Amino acid sequence: MLNVEGLSCYYPVADKEVTAVCNLSFDLGKNSMLGLIGESGSGKTTVAWALLGMLGDLGGHAHGQFTWKGTVYDFHSPAPWRHLRWREIAIVPQTAMNSFNPVYTIGHSLTEVLKWHVSALGANERSARAKEILARVELDPQLFYSYPHQLSGGMRQRAALAKALICNPKILILDEATTGLDVITEGNILKTVAGLKKELGMSLIIITHDLRLVENLCDDYVVLKDGFAQQPGSPYIKKLFSAMLQIGKKPKVADVRGVPILVAKNMSKSFRKPGTRKKFLAIDCVSVSLTPGSITGLVGASGSGKSTLVNTLFHMLRPDGGSISFQGKTISSDPSAIKGMQRQMGLVRQDPFDSLPPHEKVSAVVAEPLQIHSLSEGRQKDLKKVSQLLAEVGLEPEVYIDRFPHQLSGGQRQRVAIARALVTNPSVLVLDEPTSMLDATIKLEILQLIAQQAIEKRLAVLLVTHDLAAASLVCDHILVLHHGKSVASGSFEMLLQNSSSSYLRQLLLAATDLKGYWRHLDEVAPGCSGEGVGVMIPPAVSLSVAERISNL
């Protein structure tokens, strides 16, 4: 169906060209699913954009040919992109969370595409279709009336998926399209997509770091490393797959209990429901306390209020109720107190594409908190610190330190954000999905780094994640949010044993064994909590944090 021949992509960086993809060839059959995998920065996103002829808009350019419906086109020349885009090839970009025009409602963005590509539909039909497709990706059709910034990260990703699906494309590219989703939603979404694929004879290119997905779903895969496709069976591929995280191998219980440094009590925050004047509680009396040296996991379905809680902790949203105390002192609305607290806190926000200043080089971006809090020790020293941190998060300083954020891949940006959060040696670290765009190896390294910092520097960490495997590995304490309420909390093991929370069980089930879970879903009605859930949960083994790290 689609045949790519000798695709090479280049970006200009500071008067030089860097090769992001080199001489890549692959076929995509009809009604098939191709996985595109590789570590962060290997060129996956670049390939995706090249297929849409968009590299020019990102400042790069592509060479090579592709065959589409029997005709050979050149990537280089102005191919009939206008006819291909969206009608034939659609994409859920890695920047999905940032892919909606902030001034238009979700509904407008969806119907607009329809308007230009499916001209036969009337206005009412268009919005009906848009609502239908929203429901299909497990979103409330009422979100039709919301603005993008009113959605959670995962919701935006799903809305982007809806937008990609709405014209029934022949090829759908999913570029890390499910990173913001909890496993259950992710499963459901992928099932929907798979269903559509069958229904419409659609082909998919899936770019992901979740190798389980590739294993379970894809007919074929291409592995990229530094822009080069790897031969099947090469040692690199083996290494990549072996690094896959297996949940349950090293669960633990920890009771490193100390005096909490940050306590948030009964936090509530309400927002207006989309399309109505009614309000709903995004978080409802949630309490967290963070203790130095411990890692607290915050898990929950997409849209359950995790990011909202994070925002309230940083005083970026005024909570409707609740109080925050830091180092034993209640923080009121006094700006200096807030600033004093913020000085000791590091933050990584969920969307790495929306959180780095576009006009600063990486070196300045990472060093910025030092400037803000007047902790700078001179340019040279700062630069050294930055380089060191960049190296720790797996970015070669020489290559990346002089780049602008838009010249980085998604995973690279995420790591820059992590480095920035660590640069001030904070005593509290809040990470909102910090590793969602990282491949298993780097993810492990990063988690290791965080855990190490937690122990060595007595850092209190709040880790928001959908990755239960990761959570189970590093978290001492887990808080489960569901519809804005805290439904369970405790150590991982405790939560497993005390299975009162069927929700968590479902999560775990899905996380442990995707195929099994899907099968299970196929048998039982969706959304149920089946019998054998507990069976798949491995026995709890107590390990101290230190041991966990050495195991990692």
Binding footprint of ligand ATP on the chain (CB under 6 A): 11, 13, 18, 20, 38, 40-46, 58-60, 94, 149-155, 180, 271, 282, 300, 302-308, 350, 406-412, 437
Here the tokens at position 365 are: 């971006």
Q: Under the criterion CB under 8 A, does residue 355 sit at the interface with another protein? A: yes
Strand boundaries in 14-130, DSSP class E: 16-28, 33-38, 61-68, 71-74, 89-92
Q: How far is the C-alpha of 482 from the C-alpha of 140, rounded, in Å?
A: 16
Binding mask 465-504 for another protein (x = CB under 8 A): ----------------------------------------
Q: How far is the CB of 166 from another protein (least distance, A)?
A: 10
Q: Under the criterion CB under 5 A, does residue 436 sit at the interface with Mg ion? A: no
Q: Which of 104, 231, 232, 91 has its CA nearest to residue 161?
A: 91
Length of the chain: 552
For residue 47, what is the enclosing H or E element? helix 44-51
Q: Which of 114, 134, 116, 117 has its CA nearest to residue 125?
A: 114
Taking CB under 8 A as the criterion, which residues in 4-23 touch another protein? 12, 15
Here the tokens at position 236 are: 């690199």
Q: How far is the C-alpha of 416 from the C-alpha of 390, rounded, in Å?
A: 7
Nearer to another protein, 26 or 49 (CB): 49
Beta bridge partners of 24: 7
Q: How far is the CB of 479 from another protein (least distance, A)?
A: 20
Q: Considering only 37-45, 91-99, 319-327, 440-448, which stretch makes contact with another protein by CB under 8 A?
A: 91-99
Q: How far is the C-alpha of 432 from the C-alpha of 472, rounded, in Å?
A: 16
Taking CB under 8 A as the criterion, which residues in 27-56 touch another protein? 49, 52, 54, 56
Angle formed at CA 481 by CA 479 and CA 484, multiple of 5 degrees: 140
Q: Which does 369 bind (CB under 5 to 8 A by kind): ligand ATP, Mg ion, another protein, none?
A: another protein
Q: How far is the C-alpha of 325 from the C-alpha of 48, rounded, in Å?
A: 46
Q: Considering only 76-84, 131-139, 299-307, 472-480, which stretch makes contact with another protein by CB under 8 A?
A: 76-84
Q: How far is CA 116 from the centre of its chain?
A: 30
Q: How far is the C-alpha of 348 from the C-alpha of 458, rounded, in Å?
A: 18
Q: Under the criterion CB under 8 A, does residue 347 sit at the interface with another protein? A: yes
Q: How far is the CB of 402 from another protein (least distance, A)?
A: 11
- Output the CA torsion 6→12→16→19 (10° steps): -30
Q: Which does 141 bind (CB under 5 to 8 A by kind): another protein, Mg ion, ligand ATP, none?
A: none
Q: Which does 43 bind (CB under 5 to 8 A by kind): ligand ATP, another protein, Mg ion, none?
A: ligand ATP
Give the chain's count of helices (H) and strands (E): 20, 20
- Choosing from 354, 377, 396, 398, the residue that interacts with another protein (CB under 8 A) is 354
Nearer to another protein, 153 or 227 (CB): 153
- Choosing from 231, 242, 266, 371, the residue that interacts with another protein (CB under 8 A) is 371
Residue 393 CB neighbour total at 10 angstroms: 22
Q: Under the criterion CB under 8 A, does residue 145 sit at the interface with another protein? A: no
Binding mask 269-308 for Mg ion (x = CB under 5 A): --------------------------------------x-
Q: Rounded to the nearest 5°, which phi and psi values hold at 509? A: -55, -50
Nearer to Mg ion, 409 or 486 (CB): 409
Nearer to ligand ATP, 102 or 539 (CB): 102
- Choosing from 18, 22, 314, 327, the residue that interacts with another protein (CB under 8 A) is 314
Nearer to another protein, 113 or 495 (CB): 113
Give the distance between the most distant pair of CA atoms in the chain.
70
Angle formed at CA 462 by CA 456 and CA 465, multiple of 5 degrees: 120
Q: Which does 359 bind (CB under 5 to 8 A by kind): ligand ATP, another protein, Mg ion, none?
A: another protein
Q: How far is the CB of 89 from ligand ATP (least distance, A)?
A: 17
Yes or no: say if 429 and 462 are a contact pair by the CB < 8 Å rule. yes
Nearer to Mg ion, 45 or 185 (CB): 45
- Choosing from 123, 135, 259, 372, the residue that interacts with another protein (CB under 8 A) is 372
Q: Which does 64 bind (CB under 5 to 8 A by kind): another protein, Mg ion, ligand ATP, none?
A: none
Question: 123-136 and 106-117 helices cross at what angle (nearest 10)?
Answer: 120
Q: How far is the C-alpha of 102 from the C-alpha of 108, rounded, in Å?
A: 11
Q: How far is the CB of 110 from another protein (least distance, A)?
A: 11
Question: What is the per-residue DSSP string for 109-140?
Answer: HHHHHHHHH-TT--HHHHHHHHHHHHHHTT--
Q: Which of 527, 367, 347 has its CA nearest to residue 427?
A: 347
Chain positions contacting another protein, by CB under 8 A: 12, 15, 49, 52, 54, 56-59, 81-87, 90-91, 93, 95, 98-104, 112-113, 116-117, 147, 149, 163, 311, 314-318, 338-339, 342-343, 345-347, 349, 351, 353-359, 368-369, 371-373, 404, 406, 421
What residue ranges bind Mg ion (CB under 5 A)?
45, 94, 152-153, 307, 350, 409-410
